[in-house]
Amino acid sequence: MEYEPDSGFLGVGRSLTSRRWIPRLENDRLALQLAQQADVPELLARVLAARGVTADACEQHLNPTLRSYLPDPSIVEDMDKAAERITKAVVDGEQVAVFGDYDVDGATSSALLKLYFEAIGAPLRIYIPDRIKEGYGPNAPAFLKLKDLGVSLIITVDCGTMAHKPLGVAKERGLDVVVVDHHQAEPLLPPAVAVVNPNRLDDTSGLGQLAAVGVTFLLLIALNRTLRSAGWFEGDREEPNLLDMLDIAALGTVCDVVPLTGLNRAIVTQGLKVMSLRKNKGLAALGDVAKMEGAPGTYHAGFLLGPRVNAGGRVGRADLGARLLTTHDGAEAHEIALALDTYNRERQAIEALVLEQAIEQVDAMLAHSRANQPPPLIIASGAGWHPGVIGIVASRIKDKYDRPTFVVAIDSKGEGKGSGRSVPGVDLGRAVTAALEAGLLVNGGGHAMAAGLTVREGKLDELHEFLNSRIASDVMAAGEERQLKLDGALTTDAASREMFEMLEKAGPYGAGNPEPRFAVPRVRIVRADRVGQNHVRCILAGDEGGRLKGIAFRAADSELGESLLNSGGAVFHVAGRLRADDWQGRRGVQLQIDDAARL
């Protein structure tokens, strides 16, 4: 049954997506107290209380500033060592290079350093590795190439924590390396001048939720202070305004899907304000090409700008993202933005093909499985699959089968590059680190929710067995009761633009600060049609007579989408998130539908 009275929120014990609806806030008194003590509307208080916001912290949460959240960068292990070594390089006129990852976090981290060095009048070279030819992270040939060009100091950003061999080669050749990263670390760190990573096992800063770009921003604060002490800014040299760079820091933070709490929240809130000023020519050009409308928000950063910056590293030229973010030439910015937009469309076509093949592979595996259900972890692999799209495909497979998933692209030499995505409650990065320590991988690492690895094709079955046994109990616990958390119920009349704008005050929303999700009870689908490749557009009619637009993305072929398209006059509870709907100048709202239950 989809609808089971008294078994969940609005009686929904098993929805069309097989989830039990539950209230996000279990104690209504907390919302009432917050509304009274902080003088905020009751619905907003409910949203805030459900996210752990107290009356004392309410003002800071609604108006997050860097002043409130910014720590002394020195609390991060090796931060002072890094700042001192980089300061020495600047003062002595050394050649410095930044070696960045090819994703948005890497591109934005590299861009921050480049723009800062330009502002202080020091040269800096950016090196972004080719995803296919070089793979993830530092590699010895690239380091030696940079040394031949006269570089004496390399700063790795969003990578390097696990790069023992390349950093060992660098040390042997007299090349200094400063690692700036946020990925999980082993007890043994690579041989670097400094490893600035709040996820080091010995780091007590409590800043492990920062993206690499956030760590890089802290490094710039520390570096600015150290350069000031060294007398660099005496005379005609002006100190850079680091706040002007927060738009780039916000983009990287949103796109790396780190929790939007604490310092991350302040970076994104203030960074989006800077982004709205369109000072960065590259971001402005990319926003124009992506047809971005209205004030920049986390949606624009995560779904319009981010994928295009990423596209260069996925299927095009890896350096384009960092180049876009650091150019001061409007014409060049427009040219790069157009190229990234083209690469993004190419990426979408490749992704669709790999996704289709991966789903066929998983379905074939399930058809031959006695259990008739997915294993704890899914691995789909294919020769010739493009490594640039496997992370996105892994995310789609994970969503479809509700299992942690690795998608592995195998090259002509029998080596597989894998990208993994997890479900809440299952630490994929830790499992990959264990597989690396067990000798099953050539390389690997990551976070709880996302990981990457390199594996020989002949080891895939053994790896699958190892990871299955490693995470089976966690997957079982996570899947015992699939839930959809709801912040309350709204009628179609109550779902207004005024309500949407009130709820936006508790943003920016994202990981760690989930977007409010509401149930719209007892509605009929008065019109529904399929739009785009796989979306369902509809109009919901409530008992009170109000109507509300709805859209269910990538749902047309699912039970949810089919039920909306063929409702037959049935009554539904529908759950989703309010979205601005400014089509043709009209300021309305629509519901982005996540789930429904037929009554």
Q: 252-305: per-residue pLDDT in tens?
A: 999 998 999 999 999 999 999 999 999 999 999 999 999 998 899 999 999 999
Judged against a pLDDT cut of 60, whether residue 6 lies above it is answered with: no
pLDDT tens digits for range 273-286: 999 999 999 999 99
What pLDDT is recorded for position 533? 83
What's 312-364 look like in SS3?
Answer: HHHHCCCCHHHHHHHCCCHHHHHHHHHHHHHHHHHHHHHHHHHHHHHHHHHHH
Please name the fold of domain 487-598: OB fold (Dihydrolipoamide Acetyltransferase, E2P) (2.40.50)
Residue ranges per domain, the chain?
69-342, 369-482, 487-598
Domain 369-482 matches domain 487-598 at the CATH topology level: no
- Averaged pLDDT for residues 344-363: 95
pLDDT level of residue 5 (50, 70, 90 thresholds): very low
Q: Is 407 exposed, middle or buried (0-12, 13-18, 19+ CB in 10 A)?
A: buried
CATH number of 369-482: 3.10.310.30
For the chain, percent helix, then strand, then coil, each to nearest 5? 45, 20, 35
Judged against a pLDDT cut of 90, whether residue 143 lies above it is answered with: yes
Nearest to 269 by CA among 55, 50, 67, 35: 67
Q: Is 413 exposed, middle or buried (0-12, 13-18, 19+ CB in 10 A)?
A: exposed
What own/partner pairs with CB < 8 Å and gap ≥ 24 does 40-43 have? 41/502, 43/488, 43/499, 43/502, 43/503
The chain-wide mean pLDDT, for the chain, equals 94
Please name the fold of domain 69-342: inorganic pyrophosphatase (n-terminal core) (3.90.1640)
Residue 499 burial (CB count, 10 A): 18
What pLDDT is recorded for position 481? 64
CA 440 to CA 435: how far, in whole Å?
6
| 18 or 62, greater pLDDT | 62
Asked whether the beta carbons of 377 and 471 are under 8 A apart, the reply is yes
3-state DSSP assignment of residue 98: strand
What's 374-397 look like in SS3?
Answer: CCCCEEEEEECCCCCCHHHHHHHH
Torsion angle (degrees, nearest 10) of CA 248, 251, 257, 263: 50
Q: CA 72: distance to chain centroid?
A: 25
Judged against a pLDDT cut of 90, whether residue 523 lies above it is answered with: yes
Can you state the angle between helices 246-255 and 262-276, rounded to 10 degrees?
A: 120
Asked whether the beta carbons of 441 and 455 are under 8 A apart, the reply is yes
Judged against a pLDDT cut of 50, whether residue 1 lies above it is answered with: no
When mean pLDDT is compared across 15-19, 268-272, 288-292, 404-408, the lowest value belongs to: 15-19
The two three-digit tokens of residue 213, written as one number: 């770009």
In eight-state DSSP terms, residue 559 is: H
What pLDDT is recorded for position 163? 95
What pLDDT is recorded for position 476? 86
What pLDDT is recorded for position 222? 99
CA 215 to CA 198: how far, in whole Å?
8
CA 124 to CA 30: how far, in whole Å?
52
488 to 21, 525, 550, 574, 593: CA distances (angstroms): 11, 21, 18, 12, 15
Asked whether the beta carbons of 152 and 176 are under 8 A apart, the reply is yes
Please report which residue ranges of 121-257 form alpha helices under DSSP H.
140-148, 164-172, 212-229, 246-255
CA 380 to CA 404: how far, in whole Å?
11
What's 18-56 look like in SS3?
Answer: CCEEEECCCCHHHHHHHHHHHCCCHHHHHHHHHCCCCHH
pLDDT level of residue 480 (50, 70, 90 thresholds): low
Judge if the upstream peptide bond of residue 508 is cis by omega within 30 degrees of 0.
Answer: yes
Asked whether the beta carbons of 1 and 14 are under 8 A apart, the reply is yes
Judged against a pLDDT cut of 70, whether residue 3 lies above it is answered with: no
The two three-digit tokens of residue 276, written as one number: 């709205």
Place of tokens 């601005």: 580
pLDDT level of residue 583 (50, 70, 90 thresholds): confident
- Averaged pLDDT for residues 222-233: 98
Q: Highest mean pLDDT range out of 12-16, 59-63, 331-335, 578-582?
A: 331-335
Specify the pTM: 0.88
- Averaged pLDDT for residues 178-193: 95
Judged against a pLDDT cut of 90, whether residue 4 lies above it is answered with: no
pLDDT tens digits for range 27-82: 899 999 999 999 999 999 999 999 999 999 999 999 999 999 999 999 999 999 99
